[in-house]
Structure 1
Amino acid sequence: MATQLTDPYRGFRFRVEIAGIQIAAFSEASVPDITVDTVDYREGTDPIYKRPLSGLTTYGRLSLKKGLTDSMDLYNWQQQVSQLGSGSPSAQKNISLVLMGADSTEKVRWNIINAWPVKYETSGLNASSSDVLVETLELAMDYMNRIK
């Protein structure tokens, strides 16, 4: 019985859902990395070898980029966290990164839980350039899971 090959998904058709913030579109979003630390362990009866055990899991940062518009939503969220701290109930938001297939149906979904801004920046101003001004929001999170 022959297996059918499936083409991998393309990374250019996606949407970002942020609880409580309505944003039209992002031009770029990074899927954070997940790293499990290792702890070396050696038993007293084993004179030569040590073995790795799983340690703490850490999550990388989520980076979102979009063209700068009149919307103040991302900036205001970052300001709220810098003034009230990430422990404020309204400072942390759940986010979903959704990868769409060629037929515009949802194919993959990553849920980012309790995210908050840790860095806000814009691309530089340059009088000799016609590039779009881009704002970038970098977010820390409690954890992330892929549900689809």
Structure 2
Amino acid sequence: MPEDTSPYRNFNFTLQIQDIEAAHFTECLGLGVRVHPIKYRESGAGQIVRALTGPVEYAEVILRYGVTTSTDMWQWLVASMRGTAQRRNVSLIMLQEDGATEGDRWNLANAWPCEWRGPVLETMGREAAIEEMRLVFDQLERA
């Protein structure tokens, strides 16, 4: 059977923290990596500028999720605020069109929360209250 090369839908994803679905996430932004180039100039007549691979830097991942009675995400943040960050493995999982079958997966090793923003509260609003948390992590793997 030929491989399906259709792109995944951006709304079909789930997020697991230590293999447990922790919240109802509405958005996941910022997943990225940058390898910083180290430039040097060769000696000689040409003096060509070349680049070597330098330090790897992972972008902070922003998670947005609905406010509920669960305090799991808040407690995770509190540990960071107290200086005892609880490093957890996080997986961002793209789901196939059926909404249940796993497609691609990105694993973030040793992630911990470094920033939180509360929901926008508006007396005339009708939208769900959404919190935002930023994570930093040590390593990214696509599985």
One-letter code aligned to 1:121? R
Identity value in percent: 30
**TM-score, length-scaled by structure 2:** 0.89
* Residues 15 and 21 in structure 2, CA contact (< 8 A), matched pair in contact too: no
Determine which structure has the larger strand proportion and give its number. 2
One-letter code aligned to 1:123? P
Q: Residue 119 of structure 1 is aligned with which of 107, 115, 119?
A: 115
Does structure 1 residue 132 correspond to structure 2 residue 128? Answer: yes
Deviations 1:85-143 (A, max 9, x none): 33xxxx10000000000132111000000000000112221111112110111000011
**TM-score, length-scaled by structure 1:** 0.86
Paired with 1:130 and 1:5, the residues of 2 have a C-alpha distance of 39
The answer for the alignment partner of 2:33 in structure 1 is: 34
Paired with 2:23 and 2:60, the residues of 1 have a C-alpha distance of 22
* Residues 21 and 73 in structure 1, CA contact (< 8 A), matched pair in contact too: no
* Residues 17 and 95 in structure 1, CA contact (< 8 A), matched pair in contact too: yes
Paired with 1:67 and 1:102, the residues of 2 have a C-alpha distance of 23
Cα distance, 1:44–1:84 mapped onto 2, change above 3 Å: same
Structure 2 residues not aligned, in runs of 5+? none
Paired with 2:4 and 2:63, the residues of 1 have a C-alpha distance of 32
1:63 Cα offset (Å) = 1.1
Paired with 2:28 and 2:102, the residues of 1 have a C-alpha distance of 16
The answer for the alignment partner of 1:71 in structure 2 is: 70
1:48 Cα offset (Å) = 2.8
Q: CA RMSD in A?
A: 1.9
Greater than 6 Å deviation, 4+ residue runs? none
Deviations 1:26-53 (A, max 9, x none): 1111251110111111122244311111
Paired with 1:14 and 1:32, the residues of 2 have a C-alpha distance of 14
Paired with 2:89 and 2:80, the residues of 1 have a C-alpha distance of 15
The answer for the alignment partner of 1:53 in structure 2 is: 52
Does structure 1 residue 142 correspond to structure 2 residue 138? Answer: yes
